[in-house]
Structure 1
Amino acid sequence: MQRSKPTDKRVLVIGMGRFGSSLALELMAHGWEVLGMDSNSRLVQAYADSLTHTVVADATDDEALRQVGAHEFSRAVVSIGTQLEESILATSLLVDMEVPHIWAKAISRRHGRILQQIGAHQVVLPEHDMGERVAHLVSGRMLDYVEIEENFALGKTRAPREMLGRKLGDTGVRSRHGITVVCIKRHGDQFTYATAETVPQKGDVIVVAGKTNDVEKFAEIN
């Protein structure tokens, strides 16, 4: 059988714990075909009626992976997470099979670096990322926060007083604060792209992009 084309909406999810099962169900809701795989038969049975296919198999066994057709997928997610050795070995086997797109869950930055070093194309740290995001929200500095990659983030915040009633192009916000205003939202309206001619008003919500520290400092202006 030939490997799935990149446009095929099929994905292999290894590990049916909280993260893996949530991801698999969300992919199903978006029209993807999902093969859920776990060595725990109870977990596999729990999602047998919710996913396209489920299988009980050991993801650290090369032969077991090949029997379920892992090498034929163009996308795979290793969501084992807590078992570091199993996570690393399963990811390594998928890399050896030349699966084109491999996502792997990590429980720490060190774990994540190892996964990247052995060939994972994208590493996800759900607990760390969510903790960091909620910390920004609880502190009151931002309305929302997403770190795109290390040291670069998007932040949603209220337009500061120094911007109100002035064209963005006249505020010098990029040279003064090191951030770019990406979009803006007025009360009752939807977000629209911000331009040099955009004039923020009191109560407007803006989304800014820049280095993490610059975004954090900008959100503290008010």
Structure 2
Amino acid sequence: MARKPDTDKRIAVLGLGRFGGSLALELMRQRWEVIGVDANPAVVQGYADQLTHAAVANTTEETALRQLGITDLTHAVVGIGTDLEAGILTTSLLADLGVANIWAKAVSRQHARILERVGAHNVVLPEHEMGERVAHLVTGHILNFIEFEDDYALVKTRAPAEATDRTLADSELRTRYGVTVVSIKRPGENFTYATAGTTLYAGDILIVAGRTRDVEAFASLG
């Protein structure tokens, strides 16, 4: 079945555990219309007054999803983590129904590969990704860390001493370390875009982009 166009801000969150529930509430805060679905009546009751609509249903049944109007939506998140089979079947069913943007929670990389094969367009591993992120933060050199596909990352870090009191052009960070300073924040000021003529000073906070190992090495200089 052809995917429907991505045109609205309505979404179904299937599975209202810690991940799905938190996601649903944040989407509501961002003014999305959220249909929350879970097999546990007690869980659904807890979200009844916080979501656009909350329903008790078996998400592995096509009839149930059609009755909830899931086929009319362009976005859905499968937050089912404890019942792997149910999560996989739900994801596959959403794909068959033509939902344009399917996000699914995985508990392992193998689980993630299966979800992708059955139709998930985006897969997240919350525990794994958070563990990697915290591992970078506890070193003290990296203030924030976001890793993307293809071994590429953005880090928030302090300007290293060897790069201060010089412009970015003069310090040649891209040549020497393979990183690009995207933005800079001076004490008491907001972030601004960095240019070749930007001078770094002690105390500056940088947003740096590059291959993961390169930005990690650069951050360790701070």
Q: Which TM-score bucket, shorter chain as reference? A: over 0.9
Contact 2:6 2:101 in 1 (8 A): no
- Which residue of structure 1 aligns with residue 23 of structure 2? 23
- Which residue of structure 1 aligns with residue 106 of structure 2? 106
- Residue 152 (structure 1) shift: 1.1
- Which residue of structure 2 aligns with residue 156 of structure 1? 156
1:115-160 Cα distance to aligned partner (Å, 9 max, x none): 1122211111111111111111112120111112251111111011
- Residue 209 (structure 1) shift: 0.8
1:140-186 Cα distance to aligned partner (Å, 9 max, x none): 12011111225111111101112101110122111211111110000
- Which residue of structure 2 aligns with residue 177 of structure 1? 177
Distance in 2 of aligned mates of 1:175 and 1:119: 41
- Which residue of structure 2 aligns with residue 8 of structure 1? 8
- Which residue of structure 2 aligns with residue 186 of structure 1? 186
Q: How does 1:1-222 map to 2 (within 5 A)?
A: 6-222=6-222
1:65-102 Cα distance to aligned partner (Å, 9 max, x none): 11211111100000002221111110010011110011
Q: Match for 1:65: what amino acid?
A: L
Distance in 2 of aligned mates of 1:77 and 1:115: 12
- Residue 5 (structure 1) shift: 6.1
The alignment of Structure 1 onto Structure 2 pairs a total of residues equal to 220
Distance in 1 of aligned mates of 2:164 and 2:138: 25
Secondary structure of the 2:209 match is strand
Distance in 2 of aligned mates of 1:67 and 1:4: 18
Moved over 3 A (4+): none
Distance in 2 of aligned mates of 1:62 and 1:183: 48
Contact 2:108 2:125 in 1 (8 A): yes
Q: What are structure 1's unaligned runs of at least 5 residues? A: none
Secondary structure of the 1:143 match is strand
Secondary structure of the 2:123 match is strand
Distance in 2 of aligned mates of 1:81 and 1:208: 34
Distance in 2 of aligned mates of 1:46 and 1:54: 9
> TM-score, with normalisation over the residues of structure 2?
0.95
Secondary structure of the 1:89 match is helix
> TM-score, with normalisation over the residues of structure 1?
0.95
Distance 1:84 1:15, change over 3 A: same
Range with bigger deviation, 149-158 or 201-210: 149-158
Distance in 2 of aligned mates of 1:171 and 1:49: 56
Secondary structure of the 1:112 match is helix
